[in-house]
């Protein structure tokens, strides 16, 4: 008994240290904390917008950093909310994390990056931790063992993250992260991050996985059960146009089109070869490119959602 009592101070110290690490990672300072905050802000925006019909755009960061919601809203005449999140959260967690915001009459536009379309199990590096951060542990069917391990690791910040936060605090008076910048009143990013290193064209070596096909098909059923409608779009991506990439994207488009209406440029397959359109990654667009992408989406969506030319002209003015 005496030995056990002797361990109490040690256990208390360990528990306190773990708790501080958890608070840092999930609530303030760690990268996950900024992603959680961005998600909560987007959900609050969607909850506040009352309209008979809305366009909810979702996916990973290739949706978040790709669209200009206000420009699309002007073109279609309906409220638009950017619910794009982060690719490593994984398809199986992204989709159930946004489905609660879908209402009768809504149109859901899913723009998934190939990162999540090609994944074999729908889970990414941040799947388990993101579910914990938004108080929905196990979201997406995370295996219990993986969930337990992730919860434990959330109390152990990396030295690199702590060092960055310390430098931020000294130089800026606050901690920052990739997603720490505020979003607009429609969920769009308010800060543009630009690439520092050299560009290279992204190859796409395989088509959509069978798991992604099944999960997106299920998502369509979930959206329709709420009275909404699902539309899919291939992402814009700075990519190679080698034979294997083109074949993979064509096959992906064929499979997605079987699930729901799919919009994309038939000639280019949304594969872009001009790096000046892109910000810091192969999917993220610069502000001017987002406007071009927005106009493209407006023209592609009009015939699908019943927006006539006179209505869109009025909204443009």
Give the C-alpha separation, 222 to 216, whole Å.
10
pLDDT at 18: 84
pLDDT score, position 306: 85
In three-state secondary structure terms, 128 is: helix
Element (H, E) at 36: helix 31-48
Among the listed residues 300, 306, 317, 308, the one whose alpha carbon sits nearest the alpha carbon of residue 57 = 300
3-state SS assignment for residue 56 = strand
Tokens of 135: 């108080």
- The H or E element spanning position 57 is strand 55-59
Q: Note the residue count of the chain.
A: 317
Please state which CATH class domain 2-316 belongs to. alpha beta
DSSP string, 153-184: HTTS--HHHHHHHHHHHHHHSS---TT-SPB-
Per-residue pLDDT, 6: 62
pLDDT at 148: 92
Q: Kindly state the tokens that stand for 203.
A: 């190859």
pLDDT at res. 5: 65
pLDDT at 307: 62
Read off the pLDDT of residues 65-99 as tens digits, 9 standing for 90 and up: 999 999 999 999 999 999 999 999 999 999 999 99
- Rounded distance between C-alpha atoms, residue 103 and residue 51, angstroms: 10
Q: Tell me the C-alpha distance between 40 and 23, whole Å.
A: 17
Q: Collapsing DSSP states into helix, strand and coil, what is residue 181?
A: coil
277: which 2 tokens?
């359109």
pLDDT of residue 4: 62
Quick check: 35 and 179 in contact, CB under 8 A? yes
With beta carbons less than 8 A apart as the criterion, state whether 41 and 49 touch: no
- All residue ranges of the chain with pLDDT < 70 are 1-8, 10-11, 307-317
């Amino acid at each position: 008994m005496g030995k056990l009592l002797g361990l109490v101070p040690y256990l208390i110290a360990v528990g306190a240290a773990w708790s501080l690490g958890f608070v840092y990672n999930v609530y303030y300072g760690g990268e996950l904390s900024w992603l959680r905050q961005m998600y909560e802000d987007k959900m609050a925006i969607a909850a506040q917008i009352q309209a008979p019909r809305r366009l909810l755009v979702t996916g990973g960061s290739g949706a978040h950093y790709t669209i200009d919601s206000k420009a699309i809203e002007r073109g279609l005449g309906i409220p638009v909310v950017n619910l794009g999140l982060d690719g490593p959260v994984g398809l199986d967690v992204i989709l159930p994390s946004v489905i609660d915001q879908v209402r009768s009459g809504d149109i859901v536009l899913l723009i998934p990056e190939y990162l999540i379309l090609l994944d074999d199990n729908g889970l990414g590096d941040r799947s388990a931790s993101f579910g914990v951060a938004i108080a929905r542990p196990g979201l997406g069917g995370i295996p219990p063992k993986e969930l337990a391990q992730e919860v434990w690791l959330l109390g152990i910040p990396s030295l690199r993250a702590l060092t960055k936060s310390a430098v931020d605090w000294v130089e800026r008076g606050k901690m920052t992260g990739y997603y720490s910048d505020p979003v607009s009143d429609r969920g769009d990013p308010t800060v543009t991050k630009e690439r520092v290193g050299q560009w290279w064209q992204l190859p796409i070596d395989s088509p959509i996985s069978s798991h992604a096909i099944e999960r997106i098909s299920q998502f369509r059923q979930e959206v329709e059960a709420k009275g909404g409608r699902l539309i899919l779009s291939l992402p814009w991506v700075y990519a190679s146009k080698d034979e294997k990439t083109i074949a993979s994207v064509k096959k992906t488009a064929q499979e997605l089109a079987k699930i729901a209406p799919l919009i994309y440029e038939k000639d280019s397959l949304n594969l872009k070869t001009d790096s000046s359109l892109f910000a810091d990654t192969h999917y993220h667009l610069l502000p001017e490119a987002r406007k071009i992408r927005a106009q493209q989406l407006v023209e592609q969506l009009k015939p699908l959602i019943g927006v006539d030319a006179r209505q869109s002209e009025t909204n443009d003015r």
